[in-house]
Amino acid sequence: MRAAVYRGKQQVEIEELPVPEIGAGEILIRVEACGICHTDLKKIEYGLLEPPRVFGHETAGVVAAVGDGVTKFAVGDAVIGFHHIPCKKCFYCARKLYAQCDVYKRVGITAGFEAAGGGYAQYARVMPWIVEHGVEKIPAGVSFEQASFVEPVNTCLKGVEQSGVRPGDLALVLGQGPIGLIFTMLLKQRGIETLTTDTMEARREQSRRFGAALSMNPLQEDLGAEARARTEGRGADVVFIAASAPGIVEQAIQATRPGARIVLFAQTSDKERIEISGADICKDERMLMGAYSADVDLQVESARLVFSGEIPVGELVTHKFPLPEIMDGVKLATHPDEKSLKIVILPQQI
């Protein structure tokens, strides 16, 4: 098979690899679509992990083979797979902090080398604990490109749940790339009034189309003033930070009321530093929280939202690249233009 192999900082090569062999309790997926995620972009751009690896974890495809003992799936089933699933037994799992579980941190899907997701390859091996708890069937009539959104929708839904947002709140979503737009869709689905920001006019237009009451340019407009004008002078109740930029957390604080909840979603690099006033958190009783990766308890609901079309994530796909052109997709995702949103790799197109 062919695979896009990460060979170091900003180096991804198309190589011939053996199709992964599967064992008891495992399945082999023929990968039909895999979305490009910004966590993988950071790993590639900054060389954050030791090579070689095959990245890609927003994976949708068809079961090509099943190992001994597998009864939940059969050859020909269309499926999506989560690459992380927790043990549900440890200290962190008992507190529903699944992303901190040691088993969760073990990647359970591989196309070869150290497991790293494997979606940027024609075939991927799914390990037993993922087969048992982390694979969902795709209904007839749902495209693989649409189905590949189940994992990112799960991560956003987790952030919404953690935030405690409720009817009557004013929510802000900072950044309207694919993840920010998913947050906007989820908030609209719950009937939450939402203001958004992005520096690109095309993304602001999309934001309004997907449910934002108002979408603003943070470089030219006063988000805090608008939030206060809509809340009798208080400020926003909840903020989702879906972009990483200098000063963005400070902007969130300035636009919120005392006691507000601010969810950091895009701040995944240990190189990123945030300087804020301690009093803005302590004296004003704001809650600054992180939301990272998927929640197994939300797996079925995230699949339902995507497969039913209740949130129209398929409309976010603007570019599809065959496997040999993956670096063109990586470059476009890293440096988006006015016309680009979600970029999907099609590994069977070679």
Segments making up each domain of the chain, as ranges:
2-148+312-346, 156-290
At 129, give phi and psi (nearest 5°).
Answer: -70, -25
pLDDT at 36: 97
Q: How many CB atoms lie within 10 A of CB 78?
A: 19
For residue 126, give the 3-state DSSP assignment: strand
Q: Which two tokens stand for residue 286?
A: 């704001």
Cβ atoms < 10 Å from Cβ of 265:
25
Which pLDDT value is given to residue 271? 79
Does the pTM of the predicted model rise above 0.85?
A: yes
Per-residue pLDDT of the chain (350 residues; tens, 9 = 90+): 999 999 999 999 999 999 999 999 999 999 999 999 988 998 998 888 999 999 999 999 999 999 999 999 999 999 999 999 999 999 999 999 999 999 999 999 999 999 999 999 999 999 999 999 999 999 999 999 999 999 999 999 999 999 999 999 999 999 999 999 999 999 999 999 999 999 999 999 999 999 999 999 999 999 999 999 999 999 999 999 999 999 999 999 999 999 999 999 999 888 789 999 999 999 999 999 999 999 999 999 999 999 999 999 999 999 999 999 999 999 999 999 999 999 999 999 98
Which parts of 134-243 fold into alpha helices (H)? 144-147, 150-163, 178-189, 201-209, 223-229
From the options 1.10.3720.10, 3.90.180.10, 3.40.50.300, 3.40.50.970, give the CATH code of 2-148+312-346: 3.90.180.10
Amino acid 31: pLDDT: 98
As a CATH number, domain 156-290 is: 3.40.50.720
For residues 345 and 44, give the distance between their C-alpha atoms in angstroms, rounded to a whole number: 16
Sole residue written with tokens 């990586």: 330
User: What ranges make up the beta strands (E) of the chain?
Assistant: 2-8, 11-16, 27-35, 58-66, 78-81, 109-110, 123-126, 135-137, 170-174, 193-197, 214-216, 236-241, 256-264, 287-290, 317-322, 342-346
Nearest Cα to 340, choosing from 206, 242, 233, 243?
A: 206
